[in-house]
Amino acid sequence: MVVDFSKLELNKLIPIYLQIIRHVKMEILAGNAQDGFEMPSRRVLSTLLSVNPNTVQKAYKQMEEEGLIISYPGSKSIVVANEENIIRIRQELISDEVLSFIKSARAMGFTLDQAKNVLDKYWDYKGKEVD
């Protein structure tokens, strides 16, 4: 099975290679990218995302260094989704995504209840308009 990138929408503010890495981590956490799954090749993913192959390579190289994937020259790269990695990724993403949101919500003057109400209101939200 191959790790799915079809739901990754690139944001212009954050470096693309970091968004690729974060996407893989989220797919692992969500249980969609399991241990031993294949990564798409650098060239294939660069085409899919309309991005330069070197940008994808930068992401893959860093994931390699983090022990998130294993690459064999000539062959495809493989996901390493062992317990150790999953625990580390969960801590990292909670710290990056959850805590930064809480920080923002508090800075905006939200109480905990108000923050939960906002989640209720926008959880199933799809489009672009907000009110």
Partner DNA sequence: AAGACTGTATTATGCATATAATACAGTTAC
Partner DNA sequence: GTAACTGTATTATATGCATAATACAGTCTT
CB-based contacts of 89, cutoff 8 Å, min separation 6: 25, 28, 29
| Lookup: tokens for 24 | 């893989």
The amino acid present at 90, given as its one-letter code, is R
74 lies in the binding site for DNA (CB under 7 A): yes
The amino acid present at 125, given as its one-letter code, is Y
CA distance 4 to 126: 21
Residues 70-109 that bind its own copies (CB under 8 A): 91, 93-95, 97-99, 101-102, 104-105, 107-109
In the three-class reduction of DSSP (H, G, I as helix; E, B as strand; rest coil), residue 14 is classed as coil
22 lies in the binding site for DNA (CB under 7 A): no
Residues 98-117 that bind DNA (CB under 7 A): none
CA distance 119 to 113: 10
6 lies in the binding site for its own copies (CB under 8 A): no
The single residue among 1, 14, 48, 76 that binds its own copies, judged by CB under 8 A, is 14
71 lies in the binding site for DNA (CB under 7 A): yes
Site string for its own copies, 15-54 (x = CB under 8 A): x--x----x--xx-xxxx----------------------
